[in-house]
Chain A
């Protein structure tokens, strides 16, 4: 019954923009952030730390809930809604 988060996101309609709508000031993640809440608060599990120790976000699967933005203590995120016509399009909501 339990589905992977990727499979759940696969059920949704996404119109992916080439232009990313979330960018991370990774310097802040590395130097000042201790909690690193983005790694677990995101309901789509999109945040990761890559091999070089940089925080990344797979913005393509973003549900646009804003939780990462609100939860980041250090204003490390530049976050705006995707341009009109892009991003998740709920069929039920």
Chain B
């Protein structure tokens, strides 16, 4: 059997990040990617939080094909007939170094694959890994078509479904309650129009999230991220909710209904849809993160359950890149010692624990079941918007004092036992 130092299954961000770290140190690394190119199969919302990973591979980001730095954050709470938008325009976000950038994966992943190859790593595209090869419980390599290839260590970066790793018993099969599905369109718009619609200066970007009637009470929401000359427009909805309640509507129609909302229409008017995509998202949180390493292997990125949906912040790409980096460091150290057993690779989990990756996931431990609450997607967006509407209303009747409008609204929609209990629950997140 042909053998290399390290095989990486999957050339997405996690796999390529690991490959970059290893190739930079001269290891013989082979990434196997099933798409025609890296990124061909990959979908994200879009935005990469760069600040947590800027110091990982600091030389790399200067040339990255980012779309726009996000300087404006918008959240729209959609009620029936009224909605409230919170818009944060922060000097801090507008001033370099920018904390986050919008991205398109076909561009970003291909660029990272090029960086890997420049360091001497191999990225073999158009090839699917069919199986992980195990010997006495140790991963010793992979099978792709007719070829068996061995490696000291295999880094499994196959993304959210984890088909090969669950088949080999290295993690469990994906469950609907731990996942959401996102589907999105890329809608082309001229840069000047994008800047006008989201109040941006030249080159600046916005992230605009939507909660409430978008998902008809199902866990999830809508999003728009502004790219250079297009927007990424999509819906995320919890799979278990969709599976149980979605009967009322075909999933794909949710996106059309979203596009037809009067709040969205003016934002996309004149735009041309050029691509439609869909992808699963892991939302199980840290409680369901599988064992991250074992004899001869490491799990990275989405395969390892390293992603986080905290409603207004969605993260996975930064975790993917960071876990790839720590996997590479671990392999380099294990190689020094010549020990690729589970014990030899244990440092991987320790380094994730002392980094932001598992720390942030730990902080967010309670989020998955807190956001399971359908009232977050129905009652609250509705109630906030109703209250705002009352505050701004001048009717034929004599006006009430502002304080009594607010207190009345708060009493009606917020001062009750359910809300109180939910607030207590929210404190945990």
A41: chain B residues at CB < 8 Å are 181, 239, 242-243, 246, 251
A83-B273 in contact (CB<8A): no
Q: Which of A6-42 contact B (CB under 8 A)?
A: 8-9, 11-12, 15, 35, 37, 40-42
> Are A90 and B247 in contact, CB atoms less than 8 angstroms apart?
no
Q: How large is the interface on A (under 10, 10 to 19, 20 to 34, 35 or more residues)?
A: 35 or more
Contact with A along B240-260 (1 / 0, CB 8 A): 001110110111100010011
The stretch that binds A, out of B15-23, B41-49, B399-407, is B41-49
How many residues of chain B are within 8 Å of chain A by beta carbon?
A: 56
Given contacts A83-B128, A93-B43, contact A67 B275 (CB under 8 A): no
Contacting B175 at CB < 8 Å: which of A1, A70, A80? A70
CA distance A84 to B185 in the complex (A): 25
CB-nearest residue of chain A to B244: A35
Q: Which residue of A lies closest to B32 (CB)?
A: A84
CA distance A64 to B40 in the complex (A): 11
**Which of B106, B109, B176 is close to A71, meaning CB atoms less than 8 Å apart?**
B176
Closest to B103 in A: A93
Give the nearest-CB partner of B185 in chain A.
Answer: A8
Residues of A within 8 A of B250 (CB): 40, 45
Q: Report the minimum CB–CB distance from B156 to chain A (whole Å).
A: 14
Look across to chain B and name the residue whose beta carbon is closest to the beta carbon of A42: B251
Q: What 1/0 mask marks residues of chain B from 24 to 57 whose CB sits below 8 Å from any chain A CB?
A: 0000000000111101111110000000000000
- A77 partner residues in chain B, CB cutoff 8 A: none
Also in contact, A93 and B247, with CB within 8 A (given A41-B242, A63-B277): no
Which secondary structure dominates where chain A touches chain B?
Answer: loop
Q: Is there contact, CB below 8 Å, between B106 and A8? A: no
Cβ–Cβ contact B251 & A40, under 8 A: yes
Task: Please determine whether B274 and A64 come into contact, CB atoms closer than 8 angstroms.
Answer: no
CB–CB A93/B109 < 8 A: yes
A87-B279 in contact given A11-B274, A66-B174, A93-B106 (Cβ < 8 Å): no
The 8 closest A-B pairs by CB, nearest first: A93-B105, A43-B278, A8-B276, A84-B127, A65-B278, A93-B106, A43-B183, A85-B126
Hey, which bits of chain A sit against chain B, CB under 8 A?
A: 1-3, 5, 8-9, 11-12, 15, 35, 37, 40-45, 63-67, 69-71, 80-85, 87-93
